[in-house]
Amino acid sequence: MLFSSISFLYYFLPIVLVVYFAVPFKAKNLVLLLFSLIFYFYGGPNYLILLVASALVGWGFGLLIDRFRGRTGGKVFLCLSLISSLGVLGVFKYADFAIGNFNAVFGASLPLSGLVLPIGISFYTFQIMSYTIDVYRGDARVQKNPLTLLTYVALFPQLIAGPIVRYSTIEGELEKRTHSFGNAAYGAQRFVLGLAKKVLIANALGEFCALFRQTNEPSVLFYWLYAIAFSLQIYFDFSGYSDMAIGLGRIFGFHFLENFNYPFISKSITEFWRRWHISLGTWFRDYLYIPMGGNRVKKWRWLVNIAVVWMLTGLWHGASWNFVLWGAYFAVFLIIEKLFLGKLLERMPKVVSHLYLIVTVLLSFVLFNAETLQQCISDIGAMFGAGGIPFVTAQTLYYLRSYAVLLVVAIVGATPLAKWLVQKVKLDKTFVIAPLALAALLIVVTAYLVDGGFNPFLYFRF
């Protein structure tokens, strides 16, 4: 069930809110759990048992890890919990990728498993792993109530698309949290704005990208416009969903951490990844990069650590070589920046360092979205005039005129300027106008959804 759907907005969510706020606090977690399981069942009924089983296995290992903490048994049970979680993820997400590559290398013909990727498995697997690791480290108390841990794992606002909420972040709020009109108002505002980002901007940019793939008049400019449009589409798609998750969490009394912080204003790849998908970046940093030694080892080992972390980051996004290469692509730039380029960028004019960031990121997302490596090479080559395609065509200019306003709005919306303007408006005593504006925005979004517009969600792929 998509947040950006009529069934969620006008059936599921209102019922959840009415029931949730009608019951006493002791029953609120149970209400969230039941509705979260219904939410997941609606989108993937075949794998609801897998979700529940994964959470309960994590709960069991948490108890064993806590019981044998400081002894060999604690480490053994931690390893078994990680093997269990990664094993399930590997079977459902990477088995066919491994079989396909084995067949290609050895000329074999092993049949593919044909397993369907369970929705949200990459996110909830990492959440379960963070729980067991934090219990082992002593960064979180063991949860003795299996239903409470299952509520954490299955919590519908962040279940299918993150952000990756660590147990330690909301550990206290699972037991005791505050509900207030201020939190609910902020949550509703954040949700509606995220919904608008997803439906009105990301979806429209997706339509532009679809038109690009259908064109029979390619041009260099059209390829660059596509790269810009797709990069902005995935940003508004995922950051919009994160906004909706954070907003829903606040309504229910949870404080999820931010997941995006205007990444396109960065001046280096290092800064970009401190601002993009923050919950994933910090997860790999805290649970893989630092345990591997981080930058506290010999230089060659440090560089290997970076390469391993980023290739796995790419692989986390999907079982395909273009994702592995996407991670390796960023690893190369991060290594170069740490060796010498970072200091050069600091001394360069901001416009130069920002242009470097934008071009590097645009090329990365062309690789990210390529269905095959051949398509990736073709797309990037065409961006620089390979194949003798013209710089511009009449069709390119037509689509540029048609989508110019959208592109400008998306570019501005990807910077802090839009937030600054909203804050300036709030200073002008608009207590009544702000809710009315949000209501009007919700009506516009609803009209778009009722009309049956283009409404995919890119991160369902991952």
- Report the catalytic residues: 317
Query: Exposed (0-12), middle (13-18) or buried (19+): which is 165, by Cβ within 10 Å?
Result: buried
Q: b or e along 78-91 (b: 16 or more beta carbons within 10 Å of the residue's beta carbon)?
A: beebbebbeebbee
CB-CB contact of 380 with 393 (8 Å): no
Q: Name the residue among 280, 201, 275 with its Cα closest to residue 240.
A: 201
- The amino acid at residue 123 is F
CA distance linking residue 64 with residue 135, whole number of Å: 10
What's 386's DSSP letter?
G
CB-CB contact of 50 with 41 (8 Å): no
Q: Compute the residue count for the chain.
A: 462
Q: What is the dihedral of CA 4, 10, 13, 15, to 10 degrees?
A: -160
Q: Name the residue among 256, 255, 262 with its Cα closest to residue 239.
A: 262
Which residue do the tokens 């970009």 mark? 272
CA distance linking residue 148 with residue 456, whole number of Å: 32
CA distance linking residue 75 with residue 114, whole number of Å: 35
Q: What is the dihedral of CA 240, 242, 244, 245, to 10 degrees?
A: 170
For residue 390, cis peptide bond before it (omega within 30 degrees of 0): no
CA distance linking residue 152 with residue 27, whole number of Å: 15
Query: Exposed (0-12), middle (13-18) or buried (19+): which is 195, by Cβ within 10 Å?
Result: buried
**Separation in Å, CA 292 to CA 6, 305, 354:** 46, 7, 31
